[in-house]
Amino acid sequence: MSRTQEENDYVWSHDKRLAEISTKSGPPTADDLDYEQKACGLVRSMSTLSPAERALWDKAVASGDWEAAGALSMIGMIRLDGHTSDAHGTTYDPLNTEITVANIEKYFRYGFVDSAGNPAPQFQALIQFLQNNPAV
């Protein structure tokens, strides 16, 4: 994020797709968010999600479950860091670890910690979302 305000203003006023996304009614899709992150020079958490995982994000957002969608974004950010450790010090490759209830409980939920030292509550929401949508 080393762009000046002038550069940001230029992007927002000259990028047609970004303008369409910003005026779109309803929640953004994972593809919209990925484009916005890329165009604005932000961390591209959506870029590490597979098409099926992006569809899962779209379904969570469409159902109003922003907590579950937030966990998917956090998994995208975890994947940007490469190999990491779970709560027990076991190293794993988040980029090649499927998003499942078991993998969230064992690995991903320990990638983010809240101020009380607990795994982020969004991961619990994603676990619940996956359990309620087994066909996803």
pLDDT digits (tens, 9 = 90+) for 46-83: 899 999 999 999 999 999 999 999 999 999 999 988 87
Classify residue 116 by burial, with Cβ atoms within 10 Å: 0-12, 13-18, 19+: exposed
CB 99 within 8 A of CB 108: yes
Instruction: Quote the pTM value.
Output: 0.80
At residue 1, the pLDDT reads 54
| Residue 91, H or E segment | strand 91-92
At residue 117, the pLDDT reads 67
Which backbone phi and psi does 91 adopt, to 5 degrees? -80, 140
CA atoms of 136 and 77, how far apart (whole Å): 21
Which structure tokens are listed for 50?
A: 């597979």
Query: Domain residues for 118?
Result: 5-132
**Which DSSP letter does residue 84 get?**
E
CB 9 within 8 A of CB 19: no
SS3 133: coil
- Identify the weakest region by mean pLDDT among 36-50, 60-74, 109-123: 109-123
Q: Answer yes or no: is pLDDT of 19 > 60.
A: yes
- Identify the weakest region by mean pLDDT among 31-40, 85-94, 100-109, 127-136: 85-94
CA atoms of 77 and 54, how far apart (whole Å): 14
Average pLDDT along the chain? 87
At residue 115, the pLDDT reads 77
First vs last C-alpha separation in the chain: 35
Number of domains present in the structure of the chain = 1
Q: Answer yes or no: is pLDDT of 34 > 80.
A: yes
Instruction: List the one residue out of 75, 64, 63, 57 whose CA is nearest residue 120.
Output: 75
